[in-house]
């Protein structure tokens, strides 16, 4: 099954309610990009904005943490604002990753590990059994609107093959430059959760862009 997760980073913050209703109606998951200006060279939004979205959201909240020390904040994202899925970067957590995945699960959310395009996929193979999903970046984390990196197909195939080899059943989420033009090829490579910012919110008809991706 395919899920479409619009990235709220590209939403219209002056009319957020309208975009939340659009996601409720046409998409499957709210993708929420949290950036700290340290792990990535950009700052996005945090608890108050996500809490506001959560009040109106009827679809699951997927919080993508692009921050150092994710372990300090996962509890608040889950308990205070109701995140259903929480992912953090392997590059930020390193050998603490397994413990943070456990922390997220113990708090009752789905736990995901994220890798940037320059992180060898093998780095996360030992963590797969502790994950409820894996997020493969198809651009370098930090900004919406970047061009999709073509090597991502091979990386998704490699992670999918390893998930199958280990006998696991966990979805692969792909994030960055995703839209109607590459969704089919990404699904064929093994991705099933499609994060899409610009291709949805900058489209003249976001609902049609989502439908085209499906
Ligand atoms: C980038 C974020 C993405 C971003 C995607 O750091 O993780 O979720 O918003 O935006 P597009 O779809 O425009 O590449
Ligand atoms: Zn993201």
Average of per-residue pLDDT values in the chain: 98
H or E element: which one contains 3? strand 3-6
The one catalytic residue in 28, 36, 62, 175 is 175
- 160 to 51, 140, 173: CA distances (angstroms): 33, 20, 11
Task: Place 92 in a pLDDT band, splitting at 50, 70 and 90.
Answer: very high
The pLDDT value given to residue 19: 98
Question: Is there a contact between 34 and 64 (Cβ–Cβ < 8 Å)?
Answer: yes
Nearest CA to ligand 1 atom 4: 144
Per-residue pLDDT reduced to its tens digit, 13-30: 999 999 999 999 999 999
Give residue 140's pLDDT band: very low, low, confident or very high (50, 70, 90): very high
Tell me, yes or no, if 33 is annotated catalytic.
yes
Ligand with smallest separation from the Cα of 63: 2
Residue 203: per-residue pLDDT: 98
Q: What is the pTM of this model?
A: 0.98
Could you tell which of 37, 176, 177, 186 is best to mutate to test the pocket of ligand 1, judged by most ligand atoms within 8 Å of the CB?
A: 176
Alpha carbon distance, N-terminus to C-terminus of the chain: 10
Instruction: Tell me the percentage of the chain whose pLDDT exceeds 90.
Output: 100
Q: What is the pLDDT of residues 100-111, one digit of tens each?
A: 999 999 999 999
DSSP 8-state assignment for residue 77:
I
Residues 177-211: tens digit of each pLDDT: 999 999 999 999 999 999 999 999 999 999 999 99
Q: For residue 174, what pLDDT is reported?
A: 99
Q: Which residues line ligand 1 (CB under 6 A)?
A: 7, 9-10, 31, 33, 64, 139, 141-146, 175-178, 195-199
Which residues lie across from 65 on neighbouring strands? 34, 88
Nearest ligand, CA of residue 194? 1
Q: Is 118 a catalytic residue?
A: no
Ligand 2 centroid to Cα of residue 195, in Å, is 7
Distance 134 CA to ligand 1 centre (A): 16
Measured from the alpha carbon of residue 141, the closest ligand is: 1
Q: Please give the backbone phi and psi of residue 83, each rounded to the nearest 5 degrees, phi first.
A: -60, 135
Distance of CA 58 to the CA centre of its chain: 18
Residue 30, CA distances (Å) to 58, 67, 148, 154, 169 in order: 9, 19, 20, 26, 22
| Side-chain half-sphere CA neighbours of 72 within 13 A | 6
Which residues lie across from 87 on neighbouring strands?
64, 112
């Amino acid at each position: 099954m395919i899920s479409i997760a619009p990235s709220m980073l590209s939403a219209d913050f002056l009319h957020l309610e309208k975009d939340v209703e659009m996601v409720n109606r046409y998409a499957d998951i709210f993708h929420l990009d949290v950036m700290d200006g340290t792990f990535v060279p950009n700052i996005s939004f945090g608890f108050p904005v996500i809490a506001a979205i959560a009040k109106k959201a009827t679809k699951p909240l997927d919080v993508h943490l692009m921050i150092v020390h994710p372990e300090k904040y996962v509890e608040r994202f889950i308990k205070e604002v109701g995140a259903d899925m929480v992912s953090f970067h392997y590059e930020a957590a390193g050998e603490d990753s397994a413990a943070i995945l456990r922390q997220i699960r113990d708090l009752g959310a789905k736990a995901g590990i994220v890798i940037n395009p320059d992180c060898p996929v093998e780095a996360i193979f030992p963590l797969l059994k502790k994950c409820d999903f894996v997020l493969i970046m198809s651009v370098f984390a930090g900004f919406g609107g970047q061009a999709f990196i073509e090597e991502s197909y091979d990386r998704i195939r490699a992670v999918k093959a390893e998930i199958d080899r280990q006998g696991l059943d966990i979805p692969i989420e792909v994030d960055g430059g995703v839209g109607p033009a590459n969704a089919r090829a990404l699904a064929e490579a093994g991705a099933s959760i499609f994060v899409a910012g610009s291709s949805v919110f900058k489209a003249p008809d976001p609902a049609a862009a989502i439908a085209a991706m499906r």
